[in-house]
Each structure stands twice: as C-alpha cells, then as structure tokens.
Structure 1
Amino acid sequence: MALFEKLQYYFGFPFVRYAFIVGVLIALCASLLGVVLVLKRFSYIGDGLSHVAFGALAVASVLKLTDRMLLILPATIFTAVLLLRGGKARIRGDAAIAVFSVGALAIGYLLMNVFSNSANISGDVCTTLFGSTSILTLTRGEVWLCIVLSALTLLIFTFLYNRIFSVTFDESFARATGVNTDLYQTLIAVITAVIIVLAMNLVGSLLITALLVFPALSAMRVLRSFRGVMIYSGVLSVLGAVAGIIVSILASTPVGSTIVVFDLLLFLIHLVIGRARE
C-alpha cells in the first residue's frame, strides 16, 4: 500500500505523466523499428545517429537557436538516409556508422566545451548522453509531438507492413517485383531518425541502441515469424519501459538506465528460454 500510495502521489504531477506517456510510446516504436534494423544488419545505427543528433544539438546550442529541433531533426534524417541508402559509397555499413558516430560526438563535445556559457558542462553532457533528467522536463507540446509522430509510425508499419517486410528480407526481389525500394528505404531512414531524436529525451544518446536491439533480439529467441516477432517485441519493450519508469520513481534511479537494465534482463531470460527450446 505504501508503494502504491507513493506511485499515486508522483503520478499526480504532470511531468511524471508526460514522462510515462512518452516513454511507453517511444519504446513501442523503437521496438518495431529495431526488428527491421536488426534483420538488415544495421543494429548499431541507433548509436551512430544518436551521436549525430548530439553533435547537431551542440551546434544548435552554440547558435542559440530557440527551437533546436529545427537543426537536430533535419541533420539526423539526412545522415540516416546516407547510411541506410549508402549505395555505391566507398564507405558503407558499420564503417560509415563509425565515422559519423565518432566524428559527431567529438565535434559536439568540443563545441560544448569551447562555446558553452553553462557553468556545469559535465552535467549538461551527462544529461544529453544518458537522459538523466531531460525526460522529466518535457513540455505539453513535446508530448503531443511525440504522440503524433508515434501514431504516424504505427500507421506506417500497419498499412505498409507487406512492403516493409519485402524490403527488409530481400530488397533485390522486391525491386524485381515492382516495389519502389528506394522510397521505402528512405521512409525507414526517416522513421529511424525521428524515433532516435525523440528517444534522446528518454535514455540519452549512449543508450538508444538498447531500445532498438534488446526487444527485437529477445523476441527472435522464441519466435520465428516476422509478424510475431514485431508484435512480441513491442510487448516486451513496453513492459520494460513501464517497469523501468516505475522502479526509477520508487528507487530514485536514472530513468533511461533503469529501462535499459530491464530490457537487458528480459533479453537474458529469453536467451535462456531459447537455448532450452533448442
């Protein structure tokens, strides 16, 4: 009863309700997208794009932009399109991700140290990288933006399921059957960038990959169908987000890290179940 009363007390604050809504929606969308990225061998793209977003955030801070999303979102989308549609580029795949990831992270941290007027640069960087407090400072407008973008993501995966399935498993065959693979690759890239930018407020730049990869890998340990993996991955991701947020409230732990730990525990459990079935 004491724990229930404590939860009831904290959920009386709007910022806690905002964090809960955004956390669940981002976790759900990231898990669906994670299945596609894992199967396309782009599991680490979340880390690379999150570092690009961090670099864009640093540039926006230096330029003193009122709405930083005006720079962060286009920069991240542009990079996502370059990575997922590398084509005949000389540097592709994990090498390209590494170049963007390390380069953007270094430039961002350098700019924040050289040009920042903040008295607590280490705290600002920690918040951005690990999402320590940013999830608790969401405005009503940011929550509605997350709701709208999450709804669009779910609609895209629902109505374009067959096309996404074909592009994910056999892009060459999909192109031969008349599917505009370039269009769907671009669409996946844009969705990836949007979800990663939104997820920065939840778990920070360094932990975003966990939201994309852990639920997908957990579902793949016990299921084989693409549809089943996507649905079950969403269930596991939402479960991890809910449990992580509640525990972080009760135990006063960092929200992002707590969610990732729960996702890791679920993965280990499903890894054992998968081995037992084999």
Structure 2
Amino acid sequence: MNGLMEKLILYFEYPFVRYALIVGILIALCSSLLGVTLVLKRFSFIGDGLSHVAFGGMAIATVIKMTNHMLLILPVTIVCAILLLRTGQNAKIRGDAAVAMISVGALALGYLLINIFSASANLAGDVCSTLFGSTSILTLTKTEVWLCAALSLVVIAVFLLFYHKIFAVTFDEEFAKAAGINAGQYNLLIAVIIAIIIVLAMNLVGSLLISALVIFPALSAMRLFKNFKTVIICSAILSVFCAVLGILTSILAGTPVGSTIVAVDIAAFALCSLIGRISGGVRR
C-alpha cells in the first residue's frame, strides 16, 4: 500500500497528471449536471448523436490542417445540436430518426474524409484515439486545460442561473409553457450546453464514450434518490469520484483513460442498483 501511495505521489509531480485530473473533474461535473435532465426528458440519445458529429468535425479539422481543432469542432457541434433539436420536432422526421441521420452521417463522412485526405502514417491509431480517447494522458496541454476550465465555468454558471427554468421544463414542459416559460428556448439551451460538454470530453474519453459520462452517473443517482436536487448532487459526486478513480487507475495500470473511467462508472451503476434494490431506494 505504501508503495502504491509513493507511486501516486511521484506521478503527481508531473504536470500532465495534474492536467488530466483537473480536466476530468471539470468534465465529470458538467456532464453530471445535464445528465439528469437529459435522462428525464428522454434526450439521452442527443449526447451519443452529437459525439459522432464531433468526430466528423475533428476529421474536417484534421484534413484542412487546423492547429486548434476546437475552433471548428465547437461551432459545428453546437450548430448540429440546434439542427438536431429542430429536425426532431419535424412532423415527418422524429427523435431517433433525426439522430440517426445526423450522427451516423457525420461519423461516416468524417471517416471517409480522413481516409481520402489524411497523410498520417498511423491512420488506424489516430481514428481509434479519437473514437475511444487517448491511450495516454500526455496529450492534454495547458491551453486545453484553461479552455476547459473557462467553458466548464460557463456551463456551471448557466445551469445554476437557469436551474428553476430547466427544472420546470424537465418535469412538465406543457405546464412550463402555460406558466409563461419559453420551453423551446430552454430546450435549445440544454442542447447547446451538452454540445459544449461533448467537445470538451473528446480528448479525455473519445467521441464514442462521451455519452457514458452523461448517462451513467445520472442513472446511478436515480437508483438511490428520487428528489431532483438530491439526484443532481449525488450524480455530481458520483461522476467526479468515478472520473478521479478512473484516471488514477489508468495511471497505475497503464490502461486507456476513457475506457477506464467508463468501466468505473459502470461498476458504480451496478453498486447503486444493488443498494437501491436492497433498500428500496431512499425517497428524499
């Protein structure tokens, strides 16, 4: 045990480990805040769809040799989040069909562009890293950490500022409309925020695993509590704990960061489900 602690202390002397922990905590916190709303509104599919869109944006940025991929990926993902919401409200193209059109199309076109135009000698490795997260946490730079911190603060501030409106739209959209709340505007706000979170999480867990950070902590918290506010707090705590444990495990075991974090999230969900079933859930 002492040897393990000494090894961790040694690793914490390196900036890239501290960067990974900071980014992991911020992304986990932001993901958990919106995760509960997405699950309750049955918008879980949006996170998965937008993660594919982010991959398409990454492919385009790579092909045109942009030095900062975020400058293209972020606006593209936000625009697609808006289109996804609008298309899903179309009488002829509903929900899951709209997600399939945009997400699968972006994924396929992105991979096609990389294959045609990329000059990389390790194409399979680059694609795998983008889809499943970097195999190393050495990839995070100080600039990316600061950008993640700034955008995370924006997401948290917006969520806290509009908490009561988001709560109303989440539980009863029709009542919210009757009370004078512009439900469409807040649905759009939710879609834009989740797009930002997905772009932030790409470097850490990859575009195919991002939705797990959004969904698993929320579902785990719902197995233990029923109150909206309590579920969000529990989800945030679980998400941050799983992210930290996953990153530390990845460092010690040499496993991919993203997959390790998701594996810890799955274990937490299984444990919460077991506790909830035994206790019958804590109703607060």
TM-score of the aligned structures, taking structure 1 as reference length: 0.96
Aligned partner of 1:37 in structure 2 is 38
- Asked if 1:183 corresponds to 2:185, the answer is yes
- 1:76-109 deviation line (CA, Å, top 9, x unaligned): 0011112234323521212211221211111111
Q: How does 1:31-180 map to 2 (within 5 A)?
A: 31-85=32-86, 86-133=88-135, 135-180=137-182
- Identity rate of aligned residues, in percent? 65
Paired residues of 1:34 and 1:212 also in contact (CA < 8 A): yes
Paired residues of 2:136 and 2:256 also in contact (CA < 8 A): no
- 1:110-165 deviation line (CA, Å, top 9, x unaligned): 11111100000000001101112464311211111111111111112222110000
Deviation at 1:252, TM superposition (A): 0.7
- Asked if 1:268 corresponds to 2:266, the answer is no
- Asked if 1:8 corresponds to 2:9, the answer is yes
- Give the Cα–Cα distance (whole angstroms) in 2 for the partners of residues 6 and 47 of structure 1: 36
State the one-letter code of the partner of 1:21: I
Stretches of 4+ moved more than 3 A in 1? Answer: none
State the one-letter code of the partner of 2:96: D
The DSSP-based 3-state class of the residue aligned with 2:31 is: helix
Paired residues of 1:134 and 1:202 also in contact (CA < 8 A): no
The DSSP-based 3-state class of the residue aligned with 2:121 is: coil
TM-score of the aligned structures, taking structure 2 as reference length: 0.94
Q: Give RMSD over aligned pairs.
A: 1.3
State the one-letter code of the partner of 1:233: S
Q: How does 1:210-221 map to 2 (within 5 A)?
A: 210-221=212-223
Paired residues of 1:215 and 1:263 also in contact (CA < 8 A): yes
Q: Which runs of 5+ in 2 are unaligned?
A: none
Paired residues of 2:133 and 2:203 also in contact (CA < 8 A): yes
- Asked if 1:277 corresponds to 2:270, the answer is no
Q: How does 1:195-234 map to 2 (within 5 A)?
A: 195-234=197-236
How many positions carry a matched residue from both structures?
A: 278
- Give the Cα–Cα distance (whole angstroms) in 2 for the partners of residues 157 and 208 of structure 1: 19
- 1:34-68 deviation line (CA, Å, top 9, x unaligned): 11111111112211101101011111111122222
The DSSP-based 3-state class of the residue aligned with 1:44 is: helix
Cα 1:3–1:191 change in 2 (3 A) is same
Q: Which runs of 5+ in 1 are unaligned?
A: none
| Greater shift in the superposed pair: 268-277 or 214-223 | 268-277
- Give the Cα–Cα distance (whole angstroms) in 2 for the partners of residues 70 and 246 of structure 1: 30
